[in-house]
Amino acid sequence: MSVLVLLEQRGELKPCALEAATIAGQIAKASGMALNACYIGQSLSDQAESLKGFGIEKVYAYENASLSHYSNDGYVPIVRDLVNELGAKVIIGSSSALGKEFCASVAARLGAELVQDAIGLGWDGGLKATKPLYAGKVISETKITTFPAMASVRPNVISIERNGDGAPELVKRDMPQVSLRTVLKEAAQATAGTIELTEAKVVVSGGRGIGGPENWPVIEDLAKALGAAAGASRAVVDAGWVHHSHQVGQTGKVVSPDIYVACGISGAIQHQAGMRTSKIIVAINKDPEANIFKICDYGIVGDLFEVCPLLAAEVRKVRAS
């Protein structure tokens, strides 16, 4: 009986993979089960070092160039067979865009219950999960009591923690024969240098208060100064000022950065759904009554066109010193 953590990679292991390993390690410890990991991708070899300290006994590595990108037909049978072989009782993955699809598919093949997008996990004779419902307006505590039990973890909510430097044993596996129904025609990368919203440690978002697309650079510049990803409210996306991949909220992306800076955003509940689990929320808005101030840690009542450029300049000064 063991815990299995699914390590997501995009060329390199993703931070969310190490977050999942951290929490899977805690569950293994609490339940007295062993922890193993599954890597599927081009090559783990030169990254095995980063898997030290999580208490992983063995990492099963399925390495093949044809596995470098996720595919249901390629990845799902591997995990199903590995879970059955190991008799894994708990399987932990990541709630990234691909991770959710992966976990849902694995759960279906195993006939397992699954909680996606968990913001906390624990063990109490079953797999306990904390998860937001109704766009974050309600928090549920559930326990999966049948096995295997599965959960995927929202990126950025668990801090990566290592205990010691014990390295897992690397178990190389041959790639099973599968026929892929789905063909990947093209994998497009976003413009180089842009930081992905859902993975960013800092997010600066602009709302209708920016007034028009010509002012979007005010947001981008502050983001750049802070090393942040740039987000937007739906108002800005619907107006066509920026691409909808920037949208944060119930019908956009869910982010949990260390710092979320909302500029000219009123703080509608659907926007909150996408940023409520941020560690620190900063609001810049000229309306002291704006809802965003009710959910912020630090607020500046003022014109974003004055505050943001100054903040960018001061941050650059601090960073330079």
Ligand X SMILES: Cc1cc2nc3c(=O)[nH]c(=O)nc-3n(C[C@H](O)[C@H](O)[C@H](O)COP(=O)(O)OP(=O)(O)OC[C@H]3O[C@@H](n4cnc5c(N)ncnc54)[C@H](O)[C@@H]3O)c2cc1C
Residue 230 interacting with ligand X (CB under 6 A) = no
Q: Say how many residues touch ligand X, by CB under 6 A.
A: 27
Nearest to 216 by CA among 201, 204, 227: 204
Angstrom distances, CA of residue 292 to CA of 95, 107, 271, 287: 26, 38, 10, 10
How many Å is the Cα radius of gyration of the chain? 21
Give the residue, chosen from 233, 256, 277, 278, that forms a contact with ligand X under the rule CB under 6 A: 233
CA distance 128 to 122: 5
266 binds, among ligand X, other proteins, none (CB under 5 to 8 A by kind): ligand X
43 binds, among ligand X, other proteins, none (CB under 5 to 8 A by kind): none
Give the number of other Cβ atoms within 10 Å of residue 78's Cβ.
19
Shortest distance, CB of residue 184 to ligand X, whole angstroms? 28
DSSP 247: B
Shortest distance, CB of residue 197 to ligand X, whole angstroms? 12
Q: Which is nearer to ligand X, 36 or 247 (CB)?
A: 247
Residue 209 interacting with ligand X (CB under 6 A) = yes
CA distance 37 to 168: 9
CA distance 37 to 28: 12
Q: Which is nearer to ligand X, 15 or 302 (CB)?
A: 302
Q: Which is nearer to other proteins, 28 or 307 (CB)?
A: 307
CA distance 34 to 54: 11
Shortest distance, CB of residue 138 to ligand X, whole angstroms? 17
Amino acid residing at 264: G
Nearest to 202 by CA among 119, 263, 152: 263
41 binds, among ligand X, other proteins, none (CB under 5 to 8 A by kind): none
Residue 304 interacting with ligand X (CB under 6 A) = yes
Residue 305 interacting with ligand X (CB under 6 A) = yes
Shortest distance, CB of residue 170 to other proteins, whole angstroms? 26
Q: Encoding tokens for residue 6? A: 């699914």
Residue 208 interacting with ligand X (CB under 6 A) = yes
Shortest distance, CB of residue 190 to ligand X, whole angstroms? 19
1 binds, among ligand X, other proteins, none (CB under 5 to 8 A by kind): none
118 binds, among other proteins, ligand X, none (CB under 5 to 8 A by kind): none
Q: Encoding tokens for residue 229? A: 């990803």
Q: Which is nearer to other proteins, 56 or 259 (CB)?
A: 259
> Is 29 strand, coil or helix?
helix
Q: Which is nearer to ligand X, 38 or 248 (CB)?
A: 248
For strands 9-10 and 127-133, give the pairing: unpaired
Site string for ligand X, 269-288 (x = CB under 6 A): -xx--x----------xxx-
CA distance 315 to 187: 35
Q: Phi then psi for 26, rounded to 5 degrees? A: -65, -40
Q: Which is nearer to ligand X, 22 or 95 (CB)?
A: 95
CB 7 within 8 A of CB 21: yes
Of 92-100, 103-111, 154-162, 201-209, the segment contacting ligand X by CB under 6 A is 201-209
Amino acid residing at 129: A
The full DSSP string for 157-169 is SS-----S-PPPE
**Site residues, ligand X (CB under 6 A):** 207-209, 233-236, 247-252, 264-266, 268, 270-271, 274, 285-287, 290, 303-305
